[in-house]
Amino acid sequence: MLRFTLRRILQIIPTVVVVALLIFVIFSVVPGTFAASLFADGKRAADPQMIARLIEEFGLNKPLMERFVTYVTDLAQFDLGTSFRTRQPVIDLINDRMWASLKLAIAAMVFALAVGVPLGFLAAMRPGSILDTVTMIGAVSGLSMPQFWLGLLAMYLFALQLNWLPSFGYGNGSFQNLILPAVTLGVTPLALLARTTRAGVLDVLNADFIRTAHSKGMSEIKVVRWHVARNALVLIVTTVGLQFGSLIGQAVVIEKLFAWPGIGSLLVDSVAIRDIPVVQGTILVIVLWFLVINTAVDLIYAAIDPRIKQE
Partner 1 sequence: MTAPLLDIRSLHLGVALGRSAHHPLLKGVSFQIMPGEAYGLVGESGSGKSVTSLAVMGLLKRPLAVSSGEILFKGQNLLTLPKREMRRLRGNRIAMIFQEPMTALNPLSTVGRQIAEMFVLHQDKSWNEAQKLAIDALASVRVPNPDRRAKNYPHQMSGGLRQRVMIAMALACNPDLLIADEPTTALDVTVQAEVLRLIKELCAERGTAVLFISHDLGVIASICQRVGVMYAGCLVEENETRALFDTPRHDYTKGLLGALPRLGSRSQHGRQRLVDIDSIIADRSKLTETRFIAPRGIEGSQP
**Residues near partner 1 (CB under 8 A):** 207-209, 211-219, 222, 226-227, 230-231, 304-307, 310
Cβ proximity of 75 and 241 under 8 Å: no
Pick between residue 40 and residue 303 the one whose CB is nearest to partner 1. 303
CB of 234 to partner 1, least distance (A): 8
| SS3 state at 14 | helix
Half-sphere exposure at residue 224, Cβ-oriented, CA atoms within 13 angstroms: 12
CB of 224 to partner 1, least distance (A): 12
- Select from 238, 262, 237, 232 the least CA-distant residue to 250: 262
Pick between residue 41 and residue 311 the one whose CB is nearest to partner 1. 311
Pick between residue 197 and residue 231 the one whose CB is nearest to partner 1. 231
CB of 71 to partner 1, least distance (A): 46
- Select from 251, 127, 245 the least CA-distant residue to 187: 251
Cβ proximity of 181 and 255 under 8 Å: yes
CB of 231 to partner 1, least distance (A): 6
Q: What does the chain come to in residues?
A: 311
d(CA 202, CA 209): 13
Q: How far is CA 302 from CA 7, 197, 200, 306, 307, in A?
A: 13, 19, 18, 6, 8
Pick between residue 147 and residue 231 the one whose CB is nearest to partner 1. 231
CB of 218 to partner 1, least distance (A): 6
Pick between residue 7 and residue 216 the one whose CB is nearest to partner 1. 216
